[in-house]
Structures are given as C-alpha cells and as structure tokens.
C-alpha cells in the first residue's frame, strides 16, 4: 500500500479535515480575522498548513510538533507570499513584466525560491496571473499587465523558476497560480467587486495564463475572492471543475483565498458556515485558508449528507501528494542543515536584483536627449517625497525584504556620483496636505544644474485593497512638481508607482520621465545606472498608459467596432473630450539608442494548418549607442465569424545591437496559434486573410505590415 493510501486509511475524519485547514502565524498579517496557528491544534492534527511563517528555527519548531508530536506525524505545508523576492526583493511583477524577458523572470523566481526555502517555506502564492486592464485596481501592480500572451510567458517562466524540475529539491518551492477566474475584471477597478465577463473573454483573455502555468506543472491554484456574474470563484464549480479540472486537466491542489470560504456568507450564497464549507469543497477547493470553515463546517456537512467522505478523501489525497512531492515526509525541515549563504551568493542575488531593476525601468519621455546625464555633473537637486524613501522601493509584497538593506534613490545617486553636490528636499509628503517645504524645495532647486523629481505612490497605494478613483499624483505632489517645472531648469521626473499614473501635464512639461515603479532592494542603484547612462534602458510597457482615468479599462487589443476610432470623425468610437488613444501605448519605452525596422518579408504568404508562418525583418541601430531592441509581432485576422481584435500579440524578440549595426530577425509562428474562440466557444482556425504587424510598440502609426492567407 502506498504511504498515502496507508495514511488515508489510518486517519480520523478530524485528521483528514485538519489536512485541509490552513491557519496563519502571527509573523505577518495579510488578511482579516484571528485564526492563528497554535501548538495544541498542530499536535491534534487539526492543522495541515501554516501561512506567513518563515525562519529556520520557527519552521523547525512547528514541523517538529507536526511530525514528532501528532498521531500520524504528517508534516505541515509552510506557505508564504513570496511574490517578487523573499529576502532580496526584485521589482514588483508589473515592473518586471516590462523587461519582456522570460529568462530574467525565471531567474528571479529561482532566487526567491532558494531564499524562501532557506527560510523553511515550501509553497508560495505566486505567480499572480490576473490580466490588469484597469489601473484603478490596485492589484494591477502584482500582475503581468494587460496581455494574455505576455501573461502566459510569465506564467511559464515563474512556475519553472519557483518549482525547478524537482519539487523535493531544497532549491525549489511549490508555486500557486492565482487568482483563478477574472479577478482583474472587477467592476470599475474596485477591489473585491463582481466581474461580468463573457465566456469567450474568459477563455481568450483571462484563462490562457492559467493554462500555461498548468502546462508548466504548477502545483496549486487559488481562486479569486470575487464573483463572476454572481458565482463567487470559491464555489464556482463550472470554472473550478469544468474548466480547471476537466478542460485544463489540473491535478494539483486548489487553495482558497484568505478567509474566502467564510466570506461566502457575505456574498449571500450560503446561509451558514456549514453550507459555505460544503459548497466550496464540492466546487473543488481543497484547502481552506484561515476561515476555519472546513474545521467547523465539514463534520456537520458530512453528517447531514451535504458532502461525502469520498469528496473529503479526494482533497486530502491531493494535499498529501503535494507534501510527498515536496519531499516533506523524508525532510520536513527543508531548511536543515541551515543553508550556508556566502557573501558571494548574497552579492550575486543583489546583482540580479539590480539587473532586474534596471531592465524594468521604462524611459517614457526624453526631450532633446537630456538623458543620460553627464557623469561630471556638479550640482543636483533631488526633490520630492520619494527621494530618501526605502520601503516604497520594495513595493506591495516585500516579505522578509524589510530586514535587508534597501537602496533609496538618493543612496543610489550619491554612491554613483561621489563628488557631485547633491541636495535633497522632500518638499511635500506622499499623500499629505503639507506644502510648507515647497519654498525650501524651490530654493534648493534653484542652485542645481538639473532637478530630479522623485514623486509617485508609496507601497500601500497599490496592491491589495488599494483601488483608487484618482490615479494622478497623490496629495500635493502636483503642486510641488509644477513649482519645479516653472523654474526653467531641466527637470527629470522619476515616477515610483504600482500603476500607470495619469499626469499629462508632467509628460508634456518635464524634460524626461521614467517609470521606476517599485524596483526592489537595489532600486536606487538601478535608477542611477539608467539616469547616468551606465545602463541603456530597454523596458517596455506591459500596459497601455491612460491619459485620463475615464479611459479605463484600456488595452491595445480592442475589437474594431462598426464605427472604428477615427480622429475628427464624429460618428466613430471616440470621446468628445479626450483622444481615445493612450498617453503611451502598450510596448512603449524609449532607449538611448534609436532602432528602425526595415524590409519586412512574409516568407509564407500562404499557409496551411500544420505550417508555420515565417517572417523576416531587419532591425537597425541608427544611433551611436549600443542597446537592446524589443520587437513585437502582432496579427490581425481580417474577416472571421467573430469580430477579431485590431491587434493581437503573438511574439516578442529582443536583439542587442552595437551602434550603427543592422541585423535580420527571423520569427515564426505555428499556424495553430492563429486559433480563436469561435461562435460555439470552441477553439477554431478559419481560412482567410491575415495581417502581420511588426513594431516597437502597439502604436498603429509605428507598425509595418505584411499580409498572408490561411487555407485549410
Ligand atoms: C490575497 C492573496 C494572498 C493571501 C495570503 C489574500 O488576501 O488575496 O493574494 O496570497 O492573502 O496572504
């Protein structure tokens, strides 16, 4: 008999339900309620996993209670949100998406897994794969941005990065793809709100990244808090069973979100905790995160016949299989013997963080090539509430990163320019009223050759429970910025934020603006590298950047409509008080190099189902700076049985080019990837005419185009 069968036949009902119960430690708070870990419950087998616990000795102690002092000695799953690093913090996910580099995404996840594992953690609640098209929603910061193709690449890279090829390795932890469904589609960007999403949009936009994570072997899935058309995801059997288990063949563990099963009462879909617990279990949620609903509700549900013992057994089996795959039965304390983290390893991890950070920076504007700054600059004024800030550099999920050194913007610039006179004035607080120090800022700025404005959001202004209706600069920062812009000196603005910020006046008036998001432990150093030209920026926006909050939700992959958007045409899909185009399109991001595209050739003007589309294009670096070009490949299906988007991303290639050099890129796509969700909601490829667009962003005017035909 296998270990798992033997355990299942030895376990009492209470012990089985215990395996489905996750409680929180007091180490960190990531949600409401006070269901906490306690020694007695671990000994009694009433707890199967613990959330927010880390640190070798604390984990060892908890595992010892489970393994040595509980009747069946089943180890605990130790879980924590290792989202963009554990000790070494990397850029927030939205920022890291700007690098458009699966190798980088995988490498940072691997280091995060190593550090987490050294701290006894066995499972992370990442990658977060929610498509974010509405910057009012604070959690846009945690995700891959607006595009399903990009999200799928991230899903794959992160899952492989966290999990490696062997979950039992001490270098790896289990990954959880979240928040299954369409969390990013919450109404009006308001956190936890309902989503109304058609089945086609679900299949085409919201689910592909989960399919990619499953294909890459992701160990767990977390359903979202919200409901889709009235069905809270926690009990959404059609999606959790029909899509996840049946269509996508997911065999791993489903973990509820924090307290989500108890919150079914607030949704108004369960009368009491017994009903809530039985609906969630029946829908396929294996583990109850911190709501105590399974512990309290499942025994009663079983006695009333609302659920069967087979349903409980199936969930317990999945949990035990995961513990076995993680090697926890042999080695419950994966942090023993303690890993030796040498200075060299620490240095390597910090270097990776700096590398990821500088590749995540997006140069939004750069008038007259003001950047990079000359390295012999003598007098700099650093103005703004984020100049000396450290925590906001880490972003929304900084885990144990708070215990490690964090480089602020002023740290980075001071280290990079040791002989420059750098004066620092915050001027205003991030969100407060105080304008008192604007005069002081003005006086300081007047003495400088260049003003660097460090403005934006703090870490709590994006992330969970941080939706905003006004996505401009908080507090009095606009007044501060305008005071600086009216001095007649060069102004470079660094925007720290977890979302695109609406500030058309800033983009128009500042000499250069960089999106520096929350870049992690090495933020300051990375920013200095880019500002001083020691690194040539190449980050590209994974989201369309709005000019006005009223444009949300905004994304490049629109359907054409019967009256397509046309500037100056009244009866067209436009606004009468603002252009419909974004401030910066998806894919936008300048470089100190200038690249141009030429000679696009479609080598396969006629393709069949089993063929590959083949494209060739040449990229030229027209500048005196070596740099990395990012080339996007979009398609358009011109006539189909369902209206298809004007552009759909199908591939990205990066190419490093020396100054003045030109190279050809060959790109190909299996014809099968031209499929879409047809009228009957099944995937179809239809014969007909297509266009292939190649460019450095989704800006229509910058794209070059060729045609091809699909024959069946
Ligand atoms: C969040 C999840 C997170 C969980 C555990 C919830 O509030 O929605 O993303 O993994 O807390 O911290």
Reply yes or no on whether the pLDDT at 510 is more than 90: yes
Which pLDDT score is estimated for 89?
98
From the CB of 258, is ligand 1 less than 6 Å away? yes
Cα 684 to averaged position of ligand 1 atoms, centre (Å):
36
pLDDT (tens digit, 9 = 90+) per residue, 533-554? 999 999 999 999 999 999 999 9
Instruction: Quickly count: other Cβ atoms within 10 Å of residue 704's Cβ.
Output: 14
The overall pTM is greater than 0.85? yes
From the CB of 158, is ligand 1 less than 6 Å away? no
Mean pLDDT score of the chain, rounded to an integer? 96
Coil vs helix vs strand at 4: helix
From the CB of 125, is ligand 1 less than 6 Å away? yes
**Mapped to the 3 state alphabet, what secondary structure does 642-677 carry?**
CCCCCCEEEEEEEEEECCCCEEEEEEEEEHHHHCEE
pLDDT (tens digit, 9 = 90+) per residue, 158-207? 999 999 999 999 999 999 999 999 999 999 999 999 999 999 999 999 99
Closest ligand 1 atom number to CA of residue 178: 9
How many C-alpha atoms does 191 have within 13 Å on its Cβ side? 13
Cα 30 to averaged position of ligand 1 atoms, centre (Å):
6
Cα 243 to averaged position of ligand 1 atoms, centre (Å):
22
Closest ligand 1 atom number to CA of residue 52: 12
Coil vs helix vs strand at 487: coil
Q: So which residues are the catalytic ones?
A: 257
From the CB of 31, is ligand 1 less than 6 Å away? yes
pLDDT tier at 477, thresholds 50, 70, 90: very high
Reply yes or no on whether the pLDDT at 35 is more than 70: no
From the CB of 178, is ligand 1 less than 6 Å away? yes
Which pLDDT score is estimated for 267?
98
Radius of gyration of the chain (CA): 26
Which pLDDT score is estimated for 396?
86
pLDDT (tens digit, 9 = 90+) per residue, 413-471? 999 999 999 999 999 999 977 677 899 999 999 999 999 999 999 999 999 999 999 99
Which pLDDT score is estimated for 27?
75
Which pLDDT score is estimated for 337?
75
Coil vs helix vs strand at 634: strand
pLDDT (tens digit, 9 = 90+) per residue, 629-642? 999 999 999 999 99
Over residues 566-571, mean pLDDT: 92
pLDDT (tens digit, 9 = 90+) per residue, 63-77? 999 999 999 999 999
- 268 Cβ contact list (under 8 Å, min separation 6): none
Q: Return the H-helix or E-strand segment holding 315.
A: helix 309-325
Which pLDDT score is estimated for 333?
84
**Closest residue by CA, ligand 1 atom 12:** 30
Percentage of the chain beyond pLDDT 90 is: 93
C-alpha separations of 642 from 146, 638, 657 in Å: 21, 10, 40
Cα 258 to averaged position of ligand 1 atoms, centre (Å):
6
pLDDT tier at 29, thresholds 50, 70, 90: confident
Measured CA to CA, the distance from residue 20 to residue 305 in angstroms comes to 19
| 8 Å CB contact between 335 and 59 | yes
Over residues 277-287, mean pLDDT: 98
Reply yes or no on whether the pLDDT at 252 is more than 90: yes
From the CB of 96, is ligand 1 less than 6 Å away? no
From the CB of 464, is ligand 1 less than 6 Å away? yes
Over residues 678-702, mean pLDDT: 97
- Our mutation pick for probing the ligand 1 site, out of 25, 32, 51, 125, counting the most ligand atoms within 8 A of Cβ, is 125
- Our mutation pick for probing the ligand 1 site, out of 53, 464, 465, counting the most ligand atoms within 8 A of Cβ, is 464
Which pLDDT score is estimated for 34?
62
From the CB of 192, is ligand 1 less than 6 Å away? no
Cα 289 to averaged position of ligand 1 atoms, centre (Å):
9
From the CB of 397, is ligand 1 less than 6 Å away? no
**Closest residue by CA, ligand 1 atom 4:** 258
Cα 115 to averaged position of ligand 1 atoms, centre (Å):
20
Cα 466 to averaged position of ligand 1 atoms, centre (Å):
13
Q: Which residue has the tokens 């080695």?
A: 331
From the CB of 628, is ligand 1 less than 6 Å away? no
From the CB of 257, is ligand 1 less than 6 Å away? yes
Over residues 112-127, mean pLDDT: 96
Cα 344 to averaged position of ligand 1 atoms, centre (Å):
33
């Amino acid at each position: 008999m296998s270990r798992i069968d033997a355990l299942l036949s030895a376990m009492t009902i209470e012990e089985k339900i215990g395996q489905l119960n996750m409680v929180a430690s007091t180490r960190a708070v990531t949600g409401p309620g006070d269901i906490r870990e306690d020694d007695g419950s671990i000994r009694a087998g009433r707890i199967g996993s613990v959330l927010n616990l880390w640190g070798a000795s604390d984990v060892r102690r908890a595992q010892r209670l489970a393994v040595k002092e509980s009747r069946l000695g089943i180890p605990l799953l130790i879980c924590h949100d290792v989202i963009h690093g554990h000790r070494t913090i990397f850029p927030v996910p939205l920022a890291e998406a700007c690098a458009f580099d699966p190798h980088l995404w995988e490498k940072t996840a691997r280091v995060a897994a190593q550090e987490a594992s050294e701290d006894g953690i066995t499972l992370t609640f990442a990658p977060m794969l929610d498509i974010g098209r509405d910057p009012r929603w604070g959690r846009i910061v945690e995700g891959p941005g607006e595009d399903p193709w990009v999200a799928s690449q991230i899903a794959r890279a992160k899952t492989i990065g966290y999990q490696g090829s062997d979950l039992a390795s001490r270098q790896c932890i289990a990954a959880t793809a979240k928040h299954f469904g369409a969390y990013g589609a919450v109404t009006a960007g308001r956190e936890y709100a309902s989503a109304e999403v058609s089945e086609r949009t679900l299949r085409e936009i919201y689910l592909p990244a989960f399919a990619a994570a499953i294909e890459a072997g992701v160990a767990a899935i977390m359903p979202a808090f919200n409901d889709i058309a009235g069905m809270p995801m926690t009990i959404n059997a059609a999606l959790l069973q029909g899509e996840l288990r049946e269509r996508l063949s997911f065999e791993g563990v489903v973990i509820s979100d924090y307290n989500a099963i108890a919150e079914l009462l607030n949704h108004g879909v369960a009368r009491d905790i017994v009903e809530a617990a039985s609906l969630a279990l029946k829908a396929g949620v294996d583990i109850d995160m911190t709501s105590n609903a399974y512990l309290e509700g499942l025994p009663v549900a079983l006695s009333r016949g609302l659920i069967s013992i087979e349903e409980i057994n199936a969930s317990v089996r999945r949990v035990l299989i995961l513990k076995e795959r993680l090697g926890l039965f042999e080695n419950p304390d994966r942090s023993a013997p303690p890993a030796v983290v040498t200075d060299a390893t620490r240095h390597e991890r910090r270097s990776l963080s700096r590398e990821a950070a500088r590749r995540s920076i997006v140069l939004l504007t750069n008038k007259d090539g003001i950047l990079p700054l000359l390295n012999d600059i003598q007098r700099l004024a650093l103005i703004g509430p984020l100049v000396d800030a450290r925590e906001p550099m880490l972003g929304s999920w900084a885990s144990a990163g708070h215990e490690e050194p964090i480089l602020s913007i002023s740290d980075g610039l001071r280290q990079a320019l040791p002989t420059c006179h750098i004066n620092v004035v915050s001027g205003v607080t991030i969100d407060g009223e105080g304008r008192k120090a604007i005069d002081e800022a003005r006086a300081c700025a007047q003495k400088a050759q260049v003003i660097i404005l460090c403005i934006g959001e703090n870490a709590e202004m994006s992330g969970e429970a941080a939706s905003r209706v006004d996505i401009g600069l908080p507090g009095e920062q606009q007044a501060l910025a305008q005071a600086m812009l009216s001095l007649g000196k060069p102004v470079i603005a660094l925007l720290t934020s977890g979302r695109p910020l609406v500030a058309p006046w800033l983009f128009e008036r500042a000499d250069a603006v960089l999106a520096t998001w929350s870049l992690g432990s090495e933020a300051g150093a990375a920013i200095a590298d880019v500002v001083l030209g020691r690194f040539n920026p190449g980050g590209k926006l994974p989201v369309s950047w709005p000019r006005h909050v009223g444009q949300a939700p905004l994304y490049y992959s629109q359907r054409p409509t019967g009256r397509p958007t046309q500037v100056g045409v009244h009866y067209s899909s436009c606004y009468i008080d603002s252009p419909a185009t974004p401030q910066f399109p998806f894919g936008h991001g300048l470089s100190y190099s200038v690249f141009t595209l030429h000679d696009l050739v479609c080598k396969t003007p006629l393709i069949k189902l089993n063929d590959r589309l083949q494209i060739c294009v040449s990229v030229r670096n027209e500048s005196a700076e070596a740099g990395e070009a990012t080339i996007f490949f979009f398609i358009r299906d011109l006539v189909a049985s369902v209206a298809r988007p004007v552009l759909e991303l199908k591939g990205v290639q990066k190419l490093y080019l020396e100054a003045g050099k030109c190279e050809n890129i060959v790109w190909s796509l299996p014809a099968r990837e031209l499929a879409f969700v047809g009228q009957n909601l099944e995937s179809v490829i239809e014969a007909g005419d297509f266009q292939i667009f190649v460019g450095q962003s989704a800006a229509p005017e910058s794209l070059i185009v060729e045609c091809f035909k699909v024959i069946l």
